[in-house]
Structure 1
């Protein structure tokens, strides 16, 4: 039953901000993408993408966090099959993550250790350094491995981030859905996103006798 309800059918588009030469090399297939394994990664270790948000990925590439420098900002596109997904927009998955926190907290207390803490990054009002969340999710993966349960191929979550979109708004200007791919076979292919063109094309409409287009 778990496999049926946690499998996400269909494909999604993911976008990743990076250096232009890195994007081009990945699209050509001359290099492989490296997973992130930082202790503050929001969704644990894996390959990170913004779901269906080219603009957010490009903004990240233009304004990378910390001391990271991207000299030629670009966006890598990916066609992704989430497969068996720990989807934190799903109540069942949220309960699994909460249970993981409980076991991690009890283990820390028994061993006289402090739990990791989510922290604010310098100059930000958001908890961008997710050490606790990363530890909880990695603990869930480890627990499943110990119990010989099916491992999750991907992790997905919505994040409320940024400033109010307008006064008294429940929306923030950096809200997004983030995907962490654990199983690289979920990534079906990379592509170089094309720039949008003006559509409908007024010249074509005139040539087809439609008349002036406003």
Structure 2
């Protein structure tokens, strides 16, 4: 009942400048990520209300971590987007967490019955390669289709990334809220953020 959001949010996407400029003027569109390790499942990824984090991501993809993106980021750039969350699978909501847990139980039983090995989240303490989480999100979306329920337009979650912000902190250096836009019609427009 409370899964439909009645407000817009601003999202920010780190990319290479030539692609970002094409998206802003409308000569190109953003592509959905469909890696089997995408932590919120398939979608177009944005940092909610954080152009700084999007810029940091794009810059780090050039300097240190080129495996983080599909393409090569030569000239870091940030694209802003106005997003209507619509029917949102909000992982900060207890109802969504219960739905996700049920999807995991379904997937776990199906894998056990087939003898297949379950996917695991990998890649250090941040678990940036989220094979298990991606599989569970996909399962949840498939179960909704099978049950005749509407598909989610967006998936939203908090991610605690990086080391402790300060010694003993419960906050992380790169903590953020991220949105995966599943339905591209939820993106109402793009813009170049003001610096």
Name the TM-score class by shorter chain: over 0.9
Alignment deviations for residues 66-94 of structure 1 (CA, whole Å, 9 cap, x no partner): 44531100000000000000000000000
| Counterpart check, 1:56 vs 2:59 | no
User: What is the rounded CA distance, in whole Å, between the counterparts of 1:66 and 1:101 in structure 2?
Assistant: 31
* Higher alpha-carbon Rg: 1
Once the two structures are superposed, the pairs formed by residues 2-151 of structure 1 within 5 Å of their partners are: 2=1, 5-64=2-61, 65-67=65-67, 68=69, 69-120=72-123, 124-151=124-151
Q: SS at the partner of 1:6?
A: coil
Per-residue deviation at 1:185? 0.8
Per-residue deviation at 1:125? 3.0
Q: SS at the partner of 1:43?
A: coil
User: What is the rounded CA distance, in whole Å, between the counterparts of 2:93 and 2:101 in structure 1?
Assistant: 13
Deviating beyond 2 angstroms after TM superposition, the runs of 4 or more aligned structure 1 residues are 65-69
User: What is the rounded CA distance, in whole Å, between the counterparts of 1:145 and 1:170 in structure 2?
Assistant: 38
User: What is the rounded CA distance, in whole Å, between the counterparts of 1:66 and 1:25 in structure 2?
Assistant: 22
Q: SS at the partner of 2:119?
A: coil
User: What is the rounded CA distance, in whole Å, between the counterparts of 1:11 and 1:118 in structure 2?
Assistant: 31
Once the two structures are superposed, the pairs formed by residues 114-193 of structure 1 within 5 Å of their partners are: 114-120=117-123, 124-193=124-193
User: What is the rounded CA distance, in whole Å, between the counterparts of 2:51 and 2:128 in structure 1?
Assistant: 20
User: Matched residue pairs, number?
Assistant: 189
**Alignment root-mean-square deviation, CA:** 1.0
Structure 2 stretches lacking a partner, 5+ long: none
